[in-house]
Structures are given as structure tokens and as C-alpha cells.
Amino acid sequence: MAEIAIIGGGPSGAMCGEQLARAGHKVNLFDEHLAWEKPCGGGLTHKAIQCFPFLLDNAYPKKLVHSVELISSQEHHATLEMPHPIVIYSRTVLNGLLLDRAQAAGCHVQRSHVMSVDTENTKARYCVEGQWHEADFLVLAAGARNQLLPGTRALQRDELEMTQGYFVPQNADAITIKFLPQFEGYIWSFPRNDHLSVGICGSMAAHTSAELRGHLQTFVEKRNIATEGAKFYSHVLPSPRERTLSERNVVGKNWALVGDAAAWVDPLTGEGLFYAIRSGELLGRSLAEGCPEKYPAWIKAAFSTELEFAARIVRRFYRGSFLGSAVTTRMVQFIRRSPVFRQLVGDLFSGTQDYSSLKRRLWGRLGITISEFIASVLNMEPARGTRIRHTGAAGD
């Protein structure tokens, strides 16, 4: 494949462009904004940093956050200290970093809107500024709102989340996550270098945008976050179901989807940056080898089993109950009371604990978690000499 066109210069498209240009291909990347403040928390977990160390080792401004405050729907609080920080970027900076790398590798980057694509013939075609061009392969990296989907279907309402939020000129040192009663999603506050990204995400099939706006407003007022004059945003986020991951076509004879366009997002947490960058890398490698048909199998081996697990449990996590309370409430209470459980969730948040071995670890630590929980509730010294540190603010 001599010539490849990439539509979308977000994390997935830029990484794919870098890989292909490094492998010696002629790559044209088009983005209607280039580096821009795409609505996003901008948080990268340790799993992303481990896989792509350049995301930490660079001079671009970013914030390293070690602490997460969790608030249950009933206002229980707990604080997690993570062994590895979440690295938070403004998206203008992160997109700029990835596009700079793609350009340095030889990828041609152009600020343009791609209006339509045609993949019917052997050579793919795409239309930019009224002119049709040909390419050997089209990489569709145009995100979740993308309408350019040859040979596959659009995501449906139950495969999407709505998000709304503000960029607030205010500083903080910890991430805040707030759960809501019978709500499939959560509110977040992510501190960046010079501002906060505060927002809410919720299932598009289960909630209305007015509901989201109301919850977010209550949260910012309660936390004294001044939103007057702050930039408001709303966007969609893929929230793949099992069927999305197993059935939706992501590659054809002369095209493939990457990142949000392919719905590679963790439906439980909304983490998409790692999957965007990794899928861009894997598609780039498979194209460089001349074998795009290998791409789905490589994705499966790399992460889609994890996403399928998250898709299976997401509704139970947000709507289910455990020991008579919401699962999320119990989770916050256990984090507050049990150091062993706190460490487990800390690893989960920072991305070092995968879902595949989570169940085994949970069962293996259940006894000590419960004994720590009970000992803490009864204000007793815990068994096995474990010290319990109370980190929350409100009572259970």
C-alpha cells in the first residue's frame, strides 16, 4: 500500500499516522481542527503510560494526580491514594504532542474537513474541499460523532453515552468521582495544569440531557465550583455493548475504524484514550505489514476481552445492589474501611489491575476485606496487624 489517508487527527489517527510514516508509507492525515480542546477529562492511566512511556517522558505540560476522592450517591466519602499517578493533559496539548510525533515521522498533516468517502472500488476515495482523491487505504479515525462509516453501521443510542461539562479556571490536586442514585454514569472533576475539567457522563438510552444538566449543576453548586463564564461542552462517548464488540465490523478491504469510531472505550469508566492510541498503533502495524485483516485479532488479544467484561457488568455496577445498598455505595464504604480493598481499587483506577484477574483477586481477599470492614465499623484493631487508615470525611 503506497498511499494511506487518515481522517481524524485525534489520538487514534495521529498514532496510526506516526506508525505508518515510520514504516515508510506516504500518509496524508486530515483533521478539521488539528490540536483542539476536544471535550474530555484528559486522564491517562498507568496502563497507557506503561505501554507508551513517551506520554510521561516529555516536556509538554501535564498534571500528575495521585489521589482520587470518591463520593457515593448517599454522600459517603473515601480517598484513594494510587500507586501510580493518573497523567492529565489538556486535549489541545495531548493532540498536539501526538500530531507533532506523526509529523516528525513524515506524516503529512492537513487542516481540512473530509466530506465523504467511497470504498466501493479497489482504490478508496475521499472528498476534501470539493475535490475527490484516491488512496490505497482509508483509516477512519474521526471519533464518536463520525458519519463516515463505509461497510458498517452507526452506533445506536444504547451504545452511546452523553457527556456534558465545563472547563473551569480553578486548581485542585485530586480527582473527584461522584456516583448518583440509579444512574448509569458518574460526575467527575479532573484537575489539569491550569484548570479543571468537570463533567458528567450517562447512558444515552437511560437518561435525558436535562437530567445530566440538573445533576451536574447540583454538584458544582455543592462543591463551590464557579461555572459562570466557564466554557460549557457536550459530546458523545461510545459505550460498547457485548454485541458492539463482537459483531460490529471495523475493517474492510480498503478501510478500517480506530479509536472512538470503532467504539473502543471502556463502558464502565469511559476511558478511551489508551484504546484510541493502542488501536491506532495496532492498525498502523498491521497495515505496515500489509495485513489489515490481522487488525481485529490483534485488538482482541490486546484489549477487547477486557472491554467485553466491562460491557457485561456495567449495568449491574451502576444499578445493582449489594448487601442492601447500591454497589457503588458499598464500594465507597469498603474503600473507606478496608486497606486491602482500597489497594485493589487503587490498582484498578490507576490501570494496573485488569478486569480478567479482578474476580480472582476479589474472592482471594474477601475474608480479609470483610474482617477489616467489620473491625473498622466496630472501631476494633484489625486482624493480622493490618493498620486501618480512615481517609473519608463523612460517616458510613
Ligand X SMILES: Cc1cc2nc3c(=O)[nH]c(=O)nc-3n(C[C@H](O)[C@H](O)[C@H](O)COP(=O)(O)OP(=O)(O)OC[C@H]3O[C@@H](n4cnc5c(N)ncnc54)[C@H](O)[C@@H]3O)c2cc1C
Residues of the shown chain interacting with ligand X in the complex, contacts defined by CB under 6 A: 7-13, 30-33, 38-43, 113-114, 141-143, 146, 163, 165, 190, 199, 235, 237, 259-261, 265, 270-274, 276
Residue 13 or 382 with smaller CB distance to ligand X: 13
Q: 158 is written with which cell numbers?
A: 444504547
Report in angstroms how near the CB of residue 319 gets to ligand X at its nearest: 22
Q: 113 is written with which cell numbers?
A: 474537513
Residue 278 or 330 with smaller CB distance to ligand X: 278
Rounded Cα distance between 65 and 162, Å, is 25
Rounded Cα distance between 75 and 300, Å, is 38
Beta bridge partners of 251: 256
Report in angstroms how near the CB of residue 95 gets to ligand X at its nearest: 7
Residue 259 or 267 with smaller CB distance to ligand X: 259
Residue 240 or 392 with smaller CB distance to ligand X: 240
Report in angstroms how near the CB of residue 151 gets to ligand X at its nearest: 17
Report in angstroms how near the CB of residue 274 gets to ligand X at its nearest: 6
Distances (CA, A) of 263 to 174, 266, 302, 304: 29, 9, 15, 10
Residue 38 or 62 with smaller CB distance to ligand X: 38
Report in angstroms how near the CB of residue 195 gets to ligand X at its nearest: 14
Residue 33 or 133 with smaller CB distance to ligand X: 33
Alpha helices in the chain (DSSP H): 11-22, 46-51, 91-105, 209-222, 242-247, 273-288, 295-299, 305-319, 327-337, 339-350, 358-364, 366-377
Rounded Cα distance between 55 and 94, Å, is 9
Residue 34 or 370 with smaller CB distance to ligand X: 34
**Pairing state between β 3-7 and 137-140:** parallel
Rounded Cα distance between 320 and 341, Å, is 19
**Pairing state between β 185-191 and 196-203:** antiparallel
Report in angstroms how near the CB of residue 386 gets to ligand X at its nearest: 32
Report in angstroms how near the CB of residue 377 gets to ligand X at its nearest: 34
